[in-house]
Amino acid sequence: MNTGAEAPAAASAPDHRTDPAATMSYVYAVGRAGTALDTAADRLAGLEDGPLRTVTSEGLAALVSSVPAGAYGEAGIRARLEDLTELAALARTHHAVVEAAYAGTTVLPMRLATVYLDDARVRAMLEERDTDFTEALGWLEGHVELGVKVYADPREAAAAPPPVAEPPTAEGPAPAALSPGRAYLRQRRQERRHHRDAYRAAGGVAGAVPDRVAGLVRARVAHRPQQGELASAAGENIANEAYLVAVDRVEDFHRALAGLADGLPGVRVEITGPWAPYSFATVPTAGGRA
């Protein structure tokens, strides 16, 4: 992102802001004004390797860095978000700043590509949303987000040794004794059964997760199951959730889900995080509470 992409991006962006030196204010997160946030700002670099600063309004402060108006204006940001490489770089930088800030103090992460025309607009936004932000920060205080993903992988189920030496069925004789046609049909039937079993078992596991962690979490959000090329994990993601968990309950959370997929070939549970509470910053005042 900061590798000389600036000039072409600025040139290709027919923005109404034509001054190449013009900058805008990119906001990463909002937290309570104070040394923790100032320290984070001093220690980190933002997009385009620009220095971070805090923009304060009363008790709140936004973590901000300046970005070129051409590359991050309306057209620039649109192009950037639609290029996977650029999107990845933008996301990783945004994330690095939020993550590092969250390590020092509770912050409300902003959605990717939250850009303001200047610091005055950022300050105005802080004033306007003062109550929401303060409430949300209080709510998130001392909590982290953990992701839970459940996968169904029929191939893995098929590869697993059959439970208790293949229960005797109407098929009767062992495979060796079968004619090729019957052996084929039998195998197809087994495949279908593995497939069905894996999905059924994964569904059961996914359904059990909220109950298992019920006493340990403050809120839960269901994300869309991950699909497509970026979802490179083996199997199909059938549940993709985020939980808001108090920092001192994180271990309990892991423990509560340990062994959930044991003895279920073709089902896998993945826990990601801890994350800054991205999934719980969307609606500061209402909703999202389990």
Q: Which of residues 221-260 bind other proteins (CB under 8 A)?
A: 221, 223-224, 226-232, 240, 242, 247-248, 250
The three-class DSSP label of residue 96 is helix
- With CB under 8 A as the contact rule, the residue among 7, 11, 103, 290 that binds other proteins is 103
Min CB(84)–other proteins separation in Å? 5
Min CB(195)–other proteins separation in Å? 24
Site string for other proteins, 133-162 (x = CB under 8 A): x--x----xx-xx-x---------------
Distances (CA, A) of 255 to 249, 258, 260: 10, 5, 10
- With CB under 8 A as the contact rule, the residue among 40, 41, 44, 125 that binds other proteins is 125
When the beta carbons of 199 and 275 are compared against other proteins, the nearer one is 275
By CB under 8 A, the residues from 167 to 186 that bind other proteins are: none
By CB under 8 A, the residues from 4 to 33 that bind other proteins are: 24, 27, 30
Backbone angles phi, psi at 185, to 5 degrees: -60, -40
| Distance separating alpha carbons of residues 79 and 114, to the nearest angstrom | 15
| Distance separating alpha carbons of residues 4 and 48, to the nearest angstrom | 10
Rg over CA atoms, the chain:
25
Min CB(114)–other proteins separation in Å? 6
Q: Find the helix or strand (DSSP H, E) in which 180 lies.
A: helix 180-212
Q: If binding is defined by CB under 8 A, does position 78 make contact with other proteins?
A: yes
Candidate ranges 53-61, 68-76, 169-177, 189-197; the one touching other proteins (CB under 8 A): 68-76
The three-class DSSP label of residue 172 is coil
- Tell which residue, 77, 102, 19, has the closest CA to residue 276: 102
- With CB under 8 A as the contact rule, the residue among 58, 92, 159, 187 that binds other proteins is 92
Judged by phi (left if over 0) then psi (alpha if -120 to 50, else beta), residue 266 lies in: left
- Tell which residue, 79, 66, 45, 59, has the closest CA to residue 115: 66
- With CB under 8 A as the contact rule, the residue among 73, 154, 235, 266 that binds other proteins is 73
Candidate ranges 90-98, 153-161, 175-183, 190-198; the one touching other proteins (CB under 8 A): 90-98
